[in-house]
Structure 1
C-alpha cells in the first residue's frame, strides 16, 4: 500500500484536503497524531483512481486504525485461498497418477478398476490424507478472513455520512 497516493477528502464537499501513502506494512498509520488518532479521521479516503465500487471509505471521527488495507487484506486472503485450492488440485492429480501407475503395474487392488473407478479411488485416498485436509482447512480459513475484511470495508463504506460526495 505504501507505493500509492491516498487522497483524503472532505465528506461534505469532496474537496481534496491532503494525501498520504497509506499504512506501514504492519498496518500502522505513519502519520498518527500524538493522541493516537489517524489524520484522516472524519474524512473520506481512497487511493487515486480507486474502484468506485469500493472507494471512498469513510474513516469515523476518533479512529485509531488505518482503514485502507481492509479491501487489500480481503483480496490477499482470497488469493491465498486460491493458492491452497490449486495445491489441493495438484495433490489430487499426483494421487490419481500414483493410483494409475499402480494399476498399470498390475497391483491387485487396482488392476480390475475402470479409469473412472481409479479416479474415484484416488479422490477418496487424497481427501482422507492429512495434507489434503490441512489445505482445505487453510483455504476455508482464508476465505472466512476475506469475508470478514470485506464486511468490515462494506460496513465502513455504509457508515459514511449521508452528505458525502461520490
Structure 2
C-alpha cells in the first residue's frame, strides 16, 4: 500500500503542543527521519496527522522506539471503517426487507396479514439473513474487524518487544 505524503504532527505528551512535523513513512513504511541508531524522532512523543480522527489519534510512541506505526494505525482505521460500512449496509438491507414484508402484510398477503408487527420484523430478519447479500456483508464486516484487530495487535506486540529494554513508556514532562 503506497502512502501518500502528508504532515504528521509530533506533539508533546504533557501539553499536546506541536514539537515538530514529519513527512510520515516512506512507501516501504520506514521512517525517513530516523537517527543513525534507528530511533524515530517521534519516540517519547505523541503523533497525529493533520485532521486526525480523534478516535484513533494521537498515538503515543515509546521512548527509544525504532518503527513508524502510522501505516499500521491507518490500516486498522481503514479496516474498522470498512467494517462499519458493511454493518450499515446490512442494517439498511434489513430495513428494506422489513418495509417489504410490512407492505405485503398491509396488502393482504396471506403469509403475513395475520402477523403482529413483532412477528413481521422477525420474519423479515429471518428472510434477510438467508440472502447471499446479507451473508456477504456479514462476512465482510467480520473480516475487516479481524484485520483491524490484527494490525492493532501487531503494533502493540512490536511496541512491547521492539523497544530499548525498559524504555517502553511515553516520557512524561
Which category describes the TM-score, using the shorter chain as reference length?
A: 0.7 to 0.9
> What does residue 77 of structure 1 align with?
79
Residues 35-74 of structure 1: pairs in structure 2 closer than 5 A:
39=34, 42-44=38-40, 46=42, 49-50=47-48, 51=57, 54-56=59-61, 58-59=65-66, 67-74=69-76
> What does residue 7 of structure 2 align with?
4
Instruction: Judge conservation of contact 1:110–1:118 (CA < 8 Å) in 2.
Output: yes
- Structure 2 unaligned segments of length 5 or more: list them: 11-18, 49-56
> What does residue 125 of structure 2 align with?
123
Helix, strand or coil for the counterpart of 2:60?
Answer: coil
> What does residue 28 of structure 1 align with?
28
What is the CA–CA distance in structure 2 between the aligned matches of 1:48 and 1:116, rounded to whole Å?
50
Helix, strand or coil for the counterpart of 1:149?
Answer: helix
> What does residue 98 of structure 1 align with?
100
What is the CA–CA distance in structure 2 between the aligned matches of 1:131 and 1:99, rounded to whole Å?
17
* TM-score, normalising length: structure 2: 0.70
Give 1:79 shift: 1.1
> What does residue 167 of structure 2 align with?
163
Aligned residues: 144
* TM-score, normalising length: structure 1: 0.73
**After the TM superposition, which parts of structure 1 deviate over 3 Å for at least 4 consecutive aligned residues?**
29-32, 38-41, 44-52
> What does residue 35 of structure 1 align with?
none
Helix, strand or coil for the counterpart of 1:3?
Answer: coil
What is the CA–CA distance in structure 1 between the aligned matches of 2:61 and 2:31, rounded to whole Å?
19
What is the CA–CA distance in structure 1 between the aligned matches of 2:79 and 2:95, rounded to whole Å?
24
Helix, strand or coil for the counterpart of 1:163?
Answer: coil
After superposition, the Cα gap between the structure-2 partners of 1:109 and 1:73, relative to the gap in structure 1 and judged at 3 Å, is: same
